Chains A and B, each alone.
Chain A
């Protein structure tokens, strides 16, 4: 009985081994018989492996090659009839072996190529899909760790390929047809279909975005590229009559000498992208808070001053009332900080409202007059912090791109106040500016000013104002002071989240959600041999690979958008040669109001181009008549 049982076991093993050998032999025979297709298939799989291509790329290649076969068949049909076309692949195969048998390999390859190349590529796509699918499911490889090693190797290949692609001149343009901004080359995508270029639609650029990455990971490079892409695409759309002209405003909340270097780079890059003029605040251009409507000016000034709670609220109300009286005086709103401070001199308010104003105003002036000196002192402190950069002249409409430097590293309170004022000015400009613009506000190193700048409030009303906000921070914690605010900012980022290398990506990565994957267990035979028996199940795995995020190289970013992620090698913009002259970095406010600056003792404005060109109308009128009206 035992002998029979052993015999049965042995027979079963022999049959199994025989079947396996037979299968392999059959496959080998088919591969040899279809040698041209097998050769192309093997080559395709090798290329896909070395470049880290997804299987669909091979399928696309097969589709692109299929016209060769179609033309070949059509030519055969036209010259020898339809029956000849039907049998053409077989005859090509037969010719291949015949010619190869005679040693004429070149002619043999040429005879079979029209059919072998598309078929080989398609077969390669199937084989590559099987291999990658098996490894992703944990079935392939000698051990469960094979899938991990394979994935890491593929990542290296894909990253290498993406770096090579961005190094080719002209391979990664800034924009593409169809109002698309190109961020760089795709390394890998999960849950989204992506080609070789990482593209962002203009409408997505018009939505809020969040960028998080530690220092030196390429945040600024990404920011510059997105800004330049927004500018170039916006200008093209405007030229077509499809939208308002774009305006890019960058708040660099870090400051320092590094900010000035980036500001230079920003100016060059934006001018190359088509901006007529760029401005650097406060070094080379100024803005004016005094252009705000009186009521809003009052609110802004009062908000800019920090107030305590409890009994301090009483003084806040007093200050609010007095500032309102000074700003909304019958003689008109103040035109400068000096003008406003002069209104807090004893007797000025009484004189200004004499014969005007309501009885309530007069009562308020009398009762609050003893606080005038205190309010004036606080305003003086505020204006000292704000500096001269906000004392005008100038508005955001004076340039196409603004780079605003806030000294958030050295003087955090100053940067906070300036950021708040600039955002208020921009919101006013967006809401009721004289010329409508499509605005991108990029706040770099937001953590420096996040305490006083509740940007999520702006987020919520910005969309209707035509204002897109892009916030960047070094970490999740740097996005806002509280967890609630951080989630508000991240959750409102309709335009996507850009994750660069960061040690704590979990909260942002979680926003990408999960996807269904096959999880397979394999039975351990004897270490280090795992058997192919086990079980599989569907599990929800995170879309974003946290390990990859923590290991991202400089210039690599994960673009999380609509439940998918695309890993991108960002292409750095070359700011070496400006499209326009270097001195087109204008002082727009200076150009508009040179007299004010002259009176303030500043240097005379320098025009970007000679603005005092002589009038050539006489010769043109004589030759061609007067200028026509369009």
Chain B
């Protein structure tokens, strides 16, 4: 036996392994983003929406996920307590809040759009979701810290010029007041500590800022206010990048003002 040839895996084994890996990654993705719609999950799994629906049906059978029609468009999928435990995510389980669905979709669309950029893969970047940031903050309820919709970390030791930076990502669907936007921008750009750090470390004079940049992904309605707020920041505004939300960020069938900002 020792000298015998190693048996080759059965046909289609590699495909199945790859698919299983993708499904595991998809499960974690859903857990990180609170919940996603099946069309967006299909992009994560790199399959057709019909195939993604079948995967979701399997997850539901295993008790790791739940799915329901919460808004216009495809069904929403989210992880159950068992699913979160399977993924090792210590988040509180729950159905995505109806008032936040539009915002969740926009944040997911932003993450997906960034993930397909060649530099994202080349730089080994990773997305730290709002749910993870909030979980790090633990039970510090009542703190007036603004939590971005995500952070993108660009690890050091890559060839990218911006390697080592951490970006705060904000998806702006509905316009806030300019004053509020300025306050949030300033808070993001001057923060020095990680989320969940002791209060004394949140803004420490002389320490480098946590976020090298704040990337604002805006709907057409929010764009003027965000642009004005950036101009208002002066030199600090050079660290604010503004782009439009990617295609597919809008909730199908939803009105533009989905009021999700009111709940943030």
Contact with A along B105-121 (1 / 0, CB 8 A): 00000100110111110
CB-CB under 8 A from A628, the residues of chain B are 218, 223, 242-244
Q: Does residue A619 face the partner (Cβ distance < 8 Å to B)?
A: yes
CB-CB under 8 A from B160, the residues of chain A are 619
Q: Does residue A578 face the partner (Cβ distance < 8 Å to B)?
A: yes
Give complex CA distance A240, B179 in Å. 6
Separation in Å of the A162 CB from the closest CB of chain B?
A: 27
Which of A76-84, A211-219, A307-315, A608-616 is the contact stretch?
A608-616
Known contacts A616-B162, A628-B244; decide if A276 and B234 are in contact (CB<8 Å).
Answer: yes
CB-CB under 8 A from B90, the residues of chain A are none
Q: Does residue A15 face the partner (Cβ distance < 8 Å to B)?
A: no
Whether the Cβ atoms of A623 and B117 lie closer than 8 Å is: yes
Which residues in chain B, 85-128, are within 8 Å of chain A measured between CB atoms? 110, 113-114, 116-120
Whether the Cβ atoms of A630 and B227 lie closer than 8 Å is: yes
Closest to A400 in B: B234
Which residues in chain A, 222-239, are within 8 Å of chain B measured between CB atoms? 235-236, 238-239
Which of B11-19, B65-73, B200-208 is the contact stretch?
B200-208
Q: Does residue A569 face the partner (Cβ distance < 8 Å to B)?
A: no
Closest to B152 in A: A619
Q: Which of B177, B205, B224, B246 gathers the greatest number of chain A CB atoms within 10 Å? A: B205
Q: How many pairs of residues, A versus B, come closer than 8 Å at their CB atoms? A: 111
Which residues in chain A, 602-628, are within 8 Å of chain B measured between CB atoms? 608-611, 613-616, 618-620, 622-628
Which of A199-207, A322-330, A437-445, A579-587 is the contact stretch?
A579-587
Closest to B215 in A: A620
CB-CB under 8 A from B229, the residues of chain A are 239
Give complex CA distance A615, B238 in Å. 11
CB-CB under 8 A from A622, the residues of chain B are 117-119
> Interface residue tally of chain B, by bracket?
35 or more
Known contacts A236-B179, A276-B236; decide if A581 and B206 are in contact (CB<8 Å).
Answer: yes
CB-CB under 8 A from B209, the residues of chain A are 581, 609
Whether the Cβ atoms of A624 and B213 lie closer than 8 Å is: no
Q: Does residue B235 face the partner (Cβ distance < 8 Å to A)?
A: yes
Give complex CA distance A240, B160 in Å. 39
Q: Does residue A577 face the partner (Cβ distance < 8 Å to B)?
A: yes
Give complex CA distance A630, B226 in Å. 9
Q: Does residue B194 face the partner (Cβ distance < 8 Å to A)?
A: no
Q: Does residue B131 face the partner (Cβ distance < 8 Å to A)?
A: no
Which residues in chain B, 164-197, are within 8 Å of chain A measured between CB atoms? 177-179, 181-182, 186, 189-190
Q: Does residue A3 face the partner (Cβ distance < 8 Å to B)?
A: no
A-contacting residues of B (Cβ < 8 Å)? 110, 113-114, 116-120, 160-162, 177-179, 181-182, 186, 189-190, 203, 205-207, 209, 212-213, 215, 217-218, 223-224, 226-229, 232-236, 238-239, 241-246
Which 5 residue pairs are nearest across A and B when measured between Cβ atoms? A614-B161, A630-B227, A624-B243, A239-B179, A582-B205
B-contacting residues of A (Cβ < 8 Å)? 235-236, 238-241, 245, 274, 276-277, 577-583, 591, 608-611, 613-616, 618-620, 622-628, 630
19 contacts between A and B (CB under 8 A): A241-B178, A274-B186, A276-B233, A277-B235, A582-B205, A583-B206, A609-B189, A611-B235, A611-B238, A613-B162, A613-B212, A614-B162, A620-B215, A623-B117, A624-B113, A627-B241, A628-B218, A628-B244, A630-B224
